[in-house]
Structure formats: C-alpha cells, structure tokens
Amino acid sequence: MANASHCATCFETLTADLEDRDALGFEQVQDLWGRYELYQKSKQKASGVGNQHSEDGEELEGDEGAAEGLEEDDGLDIIHAEPERRPATRSTLQIPCISRLQAVSPASASSLSSTSSSLSTTSSSAALNGNSKSSSNSSFFSFGRSKQPSPAVPKVEEHPLFITWNTISQRTGNKNLRGCIGTFDSQELSSGLGSYALTAAFNDSRFPPIGASELYSLSCSVTLLMNFTTCSSPFDWTLGVHGIKISFSHHNRRYGSTYLPDVATEQGWTKEDTLASLMKKAGWSGRSREWREVFEKGKGTVVRYEGSKATLKWDEWARWREWMRSVATT
C-alpha cells in the first residue's frame, strides 16, 4: 500500500537532485520515517493529543490521464518505460548531518524536543543554505556504515506506479498539476519511486522542469497500481474504484490511454463520458457519440485496475527534516 514514506522518498530524491548531492536511499528513508512516526505518536501520547494523520487524502487529478508508450496530450499523464534524467540544477536546501541518527532508538526519540508544528514559506526558505555533493558525502556514507542496529526494513514491493507533483497556492489552497508520469511495468519501489519522481518533475513535456524555488509549494502523490483485469464490456468497472486503461484500433492506427481511479469522479463524469474523453485524449478524432462503434466492432479493449494512493505536502516533509536535524544535533 502507498504511504507517506513513499512520498518522502520522492521529495528526498528531488531535493537531492536539485542540490547535486547524494540522496538518502529508499531503505534509509523508510527507516527514518518509521522512527519519526514513533516519535510523533509518543509526543502525542505524552501531551494527550489524539492521533493526527500526516497525509492529505485529497488530491486534484482531474486533468490527469496517461497515453500508451510515449504519447501525450493535454491533461494526460505520461507513461515511460525508462525514466529520463535532466542535468541537475544546484539549489540551496541544506541537508543536515545525520550520521548519529542510527544510534537513536524510538524510545529515546520520544524525549527529544518538539519541532514546529508548521513551517511557513519564510521558515522553509530560511532553511535554504548551500550544500554540495562533496561536502555531504561523509555524513551520508557514515550513516550507511553505522553498525548500530536498526528496525527491520519491510520487503521491497513491486508495482506499476504513477508519481504526481502539484503546486499548492498558499493564498487560496488551490492545486495545480506540475507533472505526472508513470508506468504499467512493475517497478521495485527502491528504484522506481526515485526514478519516476525525477521524470515527473523534470521530463513532463507539458511543463517546464520544477525548480528549487517551487519546492515549498509542492505536494507529492504516489499511486501504486494493482489488480489488473480485462473487462468483459466497456462498462465492466466501477466509478471511484477503478482506473481504466483502453486500447483500440481506428483506421489502421493503434491508440491507448488511461485515467487513474480518482479522475472520473472528480470530474463528475459518467462511465460513457469517461470512455469518450479517454478516447479523445488518446488522439482519436471521432465524435463523442461514435465511441461505441469502435468497441462494438471488436477493435477495443478496456482493462480496469485499482490504485493505492498517498499524498505528502512539502511542509510535512520539511517537519520530518527538522526532526532529523534535532536528532543529529542532540
């Protein structure tokens, strides 16, 4: 199942690339995020505050979909078989020395001082000061070589996946799609999350590459895809539950595209609306009411699937980084 630590991995990979430094690995992020959650729970228990959920379950994906192969259209997610990279652009987000984190147990973490419950744009920006790959290597590598025991790392899953970046207006709270790319090929999360986080951030041709100045306004969503089933008819799927992937032939040309599970309900579409829209987004130029003819002639298939989604905002990720700073300096 997708969770906030998967999104944290994407944020870590993106900021590291922008800074031209080595990123914490997937397993390290999972370990540290688990410790952070234990710390948060112990802090809440000590203060008598109810459990707070760290994820924003709401996500705007109404303009998202995907095209087969490398095809794209306005409002489509992009599916890449091999993630691309673009030259790194240096930013200034400081990564703390964390070589001592491995020695901190969940029990001792509960005694650490609390970090701020929220980070403003100003405080996030204030954390920006220079750090390069060469200057950060020692702390990252010493962390990796620490001989202190750490919690067991769950077995790495494999899933088809999509990474979505949105910017959130601090004034209105509105979300705007900033990049969304995924794949239907199963990926080991240890490598796939980071690879597609960068591809969605830098190589979605609908948008310019994400820059360091946008970090504080970002939210990241990870959607893991599962339970693929070929539909017995174009309507053999459930709104709000299934995403659908269509493929069809028209005038000797092959078309294909997909919508993630949330898209149709967020747009208020019926199943017929969704199928007609999806065909047009794949590049089909026919009239909406003619979509049935393509499938009735046996030239189209619909595959339904389910998705597990998690979302994390920049300020939530920054609080985790601040916690790491406090542990590293304690």
> Residue 293 has what pLDDT?
83
> Residue 324 has what pLDDT?
87
- In the chain, the number of structural domains is 1
pLDDT tens digits, residue range 208-256?
Answer: 999 999 999 999 999 999 999 999 999 999 999 999 999 998 888 899 9
Regions of the chain where pLDDT drops below 50: 51-76, 81, 87-147
Which residue do the tokens 């800074």 mark? Answer: 19
Q: Could you tell me if residue 150 is inside a domain?
A: no
> Residue 82 has what pLDDT?
52
CA-to-CA separations, 44 to 50, 53, 108, 110, 115, in angstroms, rounded: 7, 12, 15, 10, 13
> Residue 189 has what pLDDT?
95
Q: Could you tell me if residue 109 is inside a domain?
A: no
> Residue 80 has what pLDDT?
53
CATH number assigned to the domain comprising residue 283: 3.30.1490.150
Q: Could you tell me if residue 154 is inside a domain?
A: no
> Residue 5 has what pLDDT?
96
Backbone phi, psi, residue 51, to 5°: -60, 130
Q: Could you tell me if residue 244 is inside a domain?
A: yes
pLDDT tens digits, residue range 8-45?
Answer: 999 999 999 999 999 999 999 999 999 999 998 988 88
Q: Which domain holds residue 296?
A: 227-308
